[in-house]
A and B are shown apart, each in its own frame.
Chain A
Amino acid sequence: MARLPTSIPALVRQFGPHLNREPAGGWTTRGEPDRTVATHCCFCGQQCGIQLKVKDERIVGFEPWEEFPFNKGKLCPKGVKRYMQDEHPDRLLTPLARDEAHGFRPIDWDAALNRTATGIQRIQAAYGRDSFAVLTGASLTNEKAYLMGKFARVALRTANIDYNGRLCMVSAAAASKKILGIDRSANPWSDIPKAKVVLVAGANIAECAPITTDYLWQARENGARLIVLDPRMTPIARTADLFIPVRPGGDIGVFNGMLHVMMERGWIDRDFIAAHTTGWDDVETIVARYTPGYAAQVAGVPASLIVRAAEMWGPAETSFLLHARGIEHHSKGVENCMAAINLVVATGRIGREGCGYAMITGQGNGQGAREQGQKCDQLPGARDLENPEHRQYIAEVWGVEEASIPHTGLSAVPLLEAIHDGRIKGLLLICFNPAVSLPDGGFIREALGRLEFFAVIDFFLSETARYADIVLPGSLMEEDEGTTTNVEGRVIHHRQVVRPPAGAREDWRIVCDLAHRLGAGDKFGYRSTRDIFEELRIASKGGVADYAGITWERIDDEMGVFWPCPSVDHPGTPRLYEGSRFGHADGKAHFQPVDWRPAVEEPDDEYPIVLTTGRVVSQYLSGTQTRRIGALVDQYPQPRCEIHPRLADSLGIADGDFVCVESRRGTLVVRAQVVKTIRPDTVFVPYHWPLDRSANNCTIRAIDPISKIPEFKICAVRVSKVSQPSGDLAALEPSAGGIR
């Protein structure tokens, strides 16, 4: 199938993942640090403040940063151990060139950059500009996200750039924009403990956004009631006032059913609706059909739970809604989110203290990286690529002709499909591991093997980078300086704690070097990431995500600044929609009617079980960083298939048995974990692992028509007991995709 330069075990032997278990120099020699640098965690969208300890220009440990207001020193296990990727034996310390049958061989930087530039030029000359694509990530800083968008549109002039936020935030973003007018969490986290009822939909907060837990518990200490929707009883669901074990894809049943009951009982703020919204009548018409009985059928839960949810949410004085991938990763992801947001707007409880709404961003810069113009349809400042005024403004900032800026390109999944069918021939990839993270993994890996030229910038050789022709060793978050925007819309400052190790380079320098070789050097003459940020401020000025008034100094002085912040004397905007002024031109919220429809692949006689996927607390995304940290691997060494005892019994499966999960697209073999905390019609497998352990071997390549997010949360599978897998791949360490 796929084109790898040598066998996977040989690649793993050379490039890992190996496990780092001790700080640089070992535990015993660590001693007192030379300095401690306050910065932020590189992992999820919470972007916790953390201090890194440096000794002899190496990061040797951490110290909590209690002064940073968002997390006050709190960290999850990933944050505690993130520094173990510094000084890691798997770090790439030289550019690599594919060496047929042998793997990779080191080459020097000039040769690597020249070959990359030549590869790009050859493909664009032969097949057209759009035949070369760029894929990026939402763990990049704002500066790098901005740089990648500009690089694609100015240096390559390709329409085809997209990013792995396409797997993450786009459904929430689209829904929020449609109803509220702005793609950002509406409130700072400090509003959560002030709410009297908190609704958490499809968010395993304890494992995916652990720091938010304290905000939830604090709300409950203050008397709030907590409602949780999830097919699994997660740690926050366990003690919730109301846990609704909704079936995957059934959320609209709960939301519309709640709204139905609220309408009947007079828990709708009709004055607010009349004054500050449009579109309510259409919502009312559809929701009228969602009687508790019908809603329960859609949601796959008893009607009484939906009625109780309405009774808690409806009459509350203040409220907060949080949602995440559980409702977003669907071919109706945008509709799921809109149905949830309708519940907020119908009560008028938004835009004031203790009243609001937030989407929980998943990736480090999940918020900021989607504002700087690296999405296939977007320009910096969250501007629209097809809006003539927006195009003209950015063309002037960049000093290019408006007509030279490409139009909307392909989003991530269609982009990989275009690689598979030969329309796209070349790819530059940074901060993305589609071989593990995209759905229908077998198809994705097959596509990667068909590229004529493939260059990757990364600090480790990810499963995707194994397919590359050229690998350019880049930098970790703590080896470069820049900003990210956290889950609240707070722009924060990542400091350069150490320089990249000899042989590796800061990502932005690599990209600028490439731009020079492609003849666009005059547009990429940055001397530092600060130069890029200064240009980003201008590029975002007047846009929705306006950073014009944000400076690095202000971020440091004010512990972050919330956008929009149009001028340096503007305080920033922690809470959106104050005074019921929404983001649309008419200042109103625009209700969106939502009617439930089935997933692209519902279970049937042949594949009778729903597979849903997600994360565990000690791993992060495709695992290319966290599967190299020994302590995190020990915490949860290999993926397991969570299955209810009733379903397990009916299939003759016992706890710890090896099971094969099989969909129409592929299979994976893992051990069963028999637990009562999951619906009996659903199994769960976390997605952080590669090869035959990859949950995405089974998931479906179906996407939401608006957001283009893949339907990771529901596909049809069958599950059977199998014998212990054998062979080269099974024999690998579990962190590399083996099994024990």
Chain B
Amino acid sequence: MSELAFFIDYSRCIGCQACVQACEECDTHRGRSLIHLETIERRDSVQTSPQVCMHCVDPICARVCPSDAIKQTPDGVVQSALTPRCIGCSNCVLACPFGVPKYDGEIDQMMKCDMCYDRTSTGRRPMCATVCPSGALAFTTIEEILRTRRGHAVNDWQFGDEHVRTKVFVLVPTEVARVNVPVVPLSALRRPSRPPSDPYDVAELLEAR
């Protein structure tokens, strides 16, 4: 049996925020939630997407930190900025391709998800992945995931020219070997003259034949 790992299946998320509420309960960052739940575009859809820290193998946030404040544990968990070192420059906030670190002005420190290090280091599962009622977040073995889920789990990402490998896996269709996120300048985006057919517009569903 391989070791426990963190898996995200975005397609399962129902936007309930159990993860957000449970994260806030952690004793190391009391009353402050470090997981992000993104509502994609509520006008168009109820789609939501949870975002924990992906714990990059070679973390970009740490690489761009001028004060060397972001450290990795020996088992690859990327931690929040160290209080005495963090200068609040927000380089990490801007550089992270997943939008995870947030600078907290009140305490002048970058805080981010550390995969519930207090729990995982004592044999418990991270809070968000334990409570998640949809199974969008899971902390289990790769064997269990492959046994119970369609598709497969990958941890390779391509953001434009940047290749990123993460400790956290995402579930994708079997034909996807690497998550490819092309980087397109905003100026190059052209709005379509006519809105495309919208699979989530109930009015359009009612007009279908």
Q: Which residues of A contact B (CB under 8 A)?
A: 21-22, 27-28, 30, 61-62, 64, 66, 71, 73-77, 79-81, 206-207, 210-211, 213-214, 217-218, 220-221, 232-236, 238-239, 243, 245, 300-302, 304-305, 617-618, 631-632, 635, 644-646, 655, 673-680
Contacts and interface: CB of A to CB of B under 8 A. Distances in A.
Contacts of A304: 208-209
A235 B208 contact: no
Contact of B130 (A66, A618, A677): A66
Contacts of B148: 218, 221
Contact of B134 (A22, A213, A644): A213
B203 to A, nearest CB: 5
Nearest to B148: A221
B202 A210 contact: no
A129 B192 CA distance: 72
B94 interface: no
A618 B17 contact: yes
A237 B190 CA distance: 31
Contacts, number: 144
Contact of A677 (B21, B125, B202): B202
Contacts of B17: 77, 617-618, 635
Contacts of A680: 202-203, 206
A74 B133 contact: yes
A676 B22 contact: no
Contact of A234 (B30, B44, B46, B127): B46
Contacts of A239: 11
Given A30-B30, A646-B203, A74 B208 contact: no
Given A73-B130, A76-B16, A239-B11, A644 B209 contact: no
Interface residues of B, number: 44
A239 B49 CA distance: 14
Given A73-B125, A74-B131, 16 more contacts: A21-B31, A62-B25, A66-B130, A75-B133, A207-B16, A210-B16, A214-B134, A214-B135, A217-B12, A218-B135, A221-B149, A235-B46, A617-B15, A632-B21, A676-B44, A677-B45
Nearest to B208: A302
Q: Which 3 A-B pairs have the closest CB atoms?
A: A27-B30, A206-B14, A235-B14
Nearest to B37: A635
B135 to A, nearest CB: 5
Contacts of A206: 14-16, 134
Contact of B43 (A21, A62, A635, A675): A675
Contacts of B21: 77, 80-81, 631-632, 635
A676 B14 contact: no
A28 B30 contact: yes
Contacts of B68: none
B20 interface: yes
B134 A77 contact: no
B157 to A, nearest CB: 23
Contact of A210 (B20, B31, B133, B205): B133
A54 to B, nearest CB: 15
B205 A245 contact: yes
Contacts of B125: 66, 73
B198 interface: yes
A359 B34 CA distance: 36
Interface string B193-207: 000001011110111
Contacts of A676: 43-45, 198, 200-203
Interface string B1-36: 000000000011111111011101101001100000
Nearest to B127: A64
Nearest to A64: B130
Contacts of B206: 245, 300-302, 679-680
